[in-house]
Amino acid sequence: MSPLTAAFDDRARRTPEAPALIWRGTAVPYGELGALAGVFQERLRHLGGDRAAPVCVPARRTPETLALLVAALRDGRPVLLPSAELGADTLRELTAGAGIDRVLTAEPSYDGPGGLGVETVVPRADAPAVPEGTGLLLTTSGSTGTPKVVPLPLDAVGRFTAWAAEHFGLGPDTAVLNYAPLNFDLCLLEVWSTLAAGGRVVLVDPDRATDGAHLRELISAHDVHLVQGVPLLYRLLAEGADPAEPLKSVRHVVLTGDAVPPRLLARLPGLFPDASFANVYGCTETNDSLILDAGPLLPADPETAGPLPLGRPLPGVRALVLGEDGRPLEGPGTGELLVHTPFQAHGYLDPARGADRFVRRADADGPRVWFRSGDLVRRTADGTLHLVGRTDFQVKVRGLRISLEEVEQTLLAHPEVADAVVVTVPDEAAGKRLQALVRRVPGSALHVLALREHCARRLARTAIPSDIRVTDAALPKGPTGKNDRAAVGDVRRLKG
C-alpha cells in the first residue's frame, strides 16, 4: 500500500464515477482508471521476478501511462520516470545505471485494456540500490551528459501533496491543468496532488500544447481551478486572448521555472481576474521551496518593473544564504542559496554524483542535509529572497563579478527587446569578453546604440556587453525554453 495511491484508491472505491482525468474532451472516471491500473497490476505480476522491483516508465502524457504508474506504485514498485523524448540508447543507459531491468510502456487500449510494452534491459552490476521507501525516481534536466536520477521518498511526496492540497484548496471539485510533461517535478502538484485530493486533472494533449486558443478553451470548458506553468504557457495563453473573455474559473496561478518577463506579467491580472498569483521556486531535488504572493506586484509598470522576488520559505523549509567566504549570512546580502525541505530527496541515486550538491551542515537546530541550489540570491532586510542568477553564470570580467542573467534582465527591461541572451567568449586582453544577442520585438527598428544607452544607465561599464547583436530571429533555446548559451557562439560571427 503506497501513500501515493491510497487516496486515489479510496476515491476510486467511494466515487468511481467522479472524473479523475480529462483527456481529449472525455472524462476518465476514478473507477475506470483504477480498474485499468488493476489490469496493469496483473500483467506486471505475470512478468515474474520481485514484485516490488523498480521499473522504468517513459513519461508519456496519456491516461494509460498514469494507470500503469498507479499499478506499479500500488505494489510498492519505485518508478523511474524519464522524459519520453530520450533517445533509445540514453534511455537504456539510464535504466541500466539505475539497476532497473524493465522499461514499460502502456499502449493505447484500442482492442483491449492494459496493452503493455516490455523492453528488457541488463542492469549495470555496480548500479546503486534504489533506497527503501522511494516512490518516483525523477531525472534532472541537465543539458549535458546523462541526467542525474533523483529518488523521491514516498513520505516526502506525501508531505508535499498534503501541503499543496491545503495551500491551493484542492479537493474533489477542483480541476487542475496539467501542462508540464509527466516527468517534471511540477507534476507532483499538477497530477499527484490533484489525484490525492480527489480532483480532476485536465491533461493537455501534447500535440496541441502550443495552441493558445485550445489551451484557453480547455481551461474555460473544464472549469480549471489551478494553472501552473513556465513563462511559455502564460505567453501562449496571453497572446491572442480576447479581453472580453477572461479565464474566470481560475483561482490560483502558479508561476514557476523561470522569470516571467514584466510585460507578460502585467497582462496576467486581466487574463485571470479572479485568481491569486504565486511565484514558486523549487527544483527536482527539493521540490517547491520558496513562495511569493505575487498578486500585489503584478500591476507595476512593465517598463520599470524588475523580475519578481522568489519570496520566502514554505512551511517547514529552511533557507541558508552562503556568502563568498562559505559562511551563512545573518542578515541581508548576496550569496548561494541552500535549502532543506520536507519534500526533498536525500541525495542522487548515485551518491558519487551528488557529493557537492547534497551537503551536511548544521544550523541552529542541528545537522541536516541541504541542497546547494547553485542559485545566487539576494536577501533583503525583510527576509525576502531575490534571484540574481546561477552561480554557474556568474563570471568575472576584469575583476568584476557579473551575473550573465542580470545583464539579460537589464536588456529585457528595454521596451523593444523581446528576448536576450548574454554569454562570454574568451578574450586575449580581458580574459573574458561579454556578448549579448538580442531579439527585438516585431516591427521595431531598435539598434545597438539605443540598447547601449539603456545599459549604460543601469549597469557598471564593465557589465555592458562588449558586443551586442540585434536580430529578428529566435534565440537558441534548450528543451525547457531557457536560453541555450552554449549554442550562441561568438556573436561577432553572426550576420547583422
Partner 1 sequence: MNRPAEIKRFLISEFLPDLSADQLDPDYDLLATGVIDSLQVVRVVNWVTTRYGVPLDQVEITPGDFRSVNAIDAFVTAFEETRSHHVHA
400 binds partner 1 (CB under 8 A): no
**Among the candidate windows 118-126, 286-294, 464-472, 479-487, which touches partner 1 by CB under 8 A?**
464-472
Minimum CB separation from partner 1 for residue 441, in Å? 17
Binding-site size for partner 1 (CB under 8 A) equals 17
Q: Report in angstroms how near the CB of residue 303 gets to partner 1 at its nearest.
A: 20
Cell of 12: 476510486
Task: Based on the shown chain and the rule CB under 8 A, indicate whether residue 430 belongs to the binding site for partner 1.
Answer: yes
- Residue 35 near residue 214, CB atoms below 8 Å: no
396 binding partner 1? (CB under 8 A): no
Minimal distance, residue 452 CB to partner 1, in Å: 4
Q: Which residue, 84 or 491, is less far from partner 1 as judged by CB? A: 491
| Selected binder of partner 1 within 125, 244, 352, 449 (CB under 8 A) | 449
**Closer residue to partner 1 in complex, CB, 180/437:** 437
> Cell triple for residue 83?
522524459
Residues 102-141 as x/- pattern, contact with partner 1 by CB under 8 A: ----------------------------------------
The least distance separating partner 1 from the CB of residue 450, rounded to whole angstroms, comes to: 9
Among 245, 274, 453, 472, binds partner 1 (CB under 8 A): 453
Indicate which single residue of 469, 483, 485, 488 sits in contact with partner 1 (rule: CB under 8 A): 469
455 forms part of the interface with partner 1 (CB under 8 A): yes
Return d(Cα 56, Cα 73) in angstroms, integer: 12
464 scored as a contact of partner 1 (CB under 8 A): yes
Tell me: does residue 399 bind partner 1 (CB under 8 A): no
Count CA atoms closer than 13 A to 65's CA, side-chain side: 21
Gyration radius of the chain over CA positions = 23
Residue of 238, 234, 141, 154 whose CA lies nearest to 196? 154
CB of 406 to partner 1, least distance (A): 15
Least distance to partner 1, CB of residue 462, Å? 8
Rounded Cα gap, residues 317 and 336, in angstroms? 16
In this chain, which stretch among 4-12, 135-143, 222-230, 450-458 interacts with partner 1, using CB under 8 A? 450-458
Report if residue 429 touches partner 1, rule: CB under 8 A. yes
Task: Please say which residue, 266 or 451, places its beta carbon nearer to partner 1.
Answer: 451
CB-nearer residue toward partner 1: 395 or 464: 464
Please select the residue that binds partner 1; options are 376, 465, 483, 488, rule is CB under 8 A: 465
Closest approach, Cβ 431 to partner 1, in A, equals 12
Span of 174-182, 245-253, 304-312, 442-450 interacting with partner 1 by CB under 8 A: 442-450
Question: Is the Cβ of residue 297 or residue 459 nearer to partner 1 in the bound state?
Answer: 459
Q: Which is nearer to partner 1, 14 or 447 (CB)?
A: 447
452 near partner 1, judged by CB under 8 A: yes
Complex with partner 1: residue 248 or 492, whichever CB lies closer: 492
Q: How far is the CB of 190 from partner 1 (least distance, A)?
A: 43
Q: Interface residues with partner 1 (CB under 8 A)?
A: 429-430, 447-449, 452-453, 455-456, 461, 464-466, 469-470, 492, 496
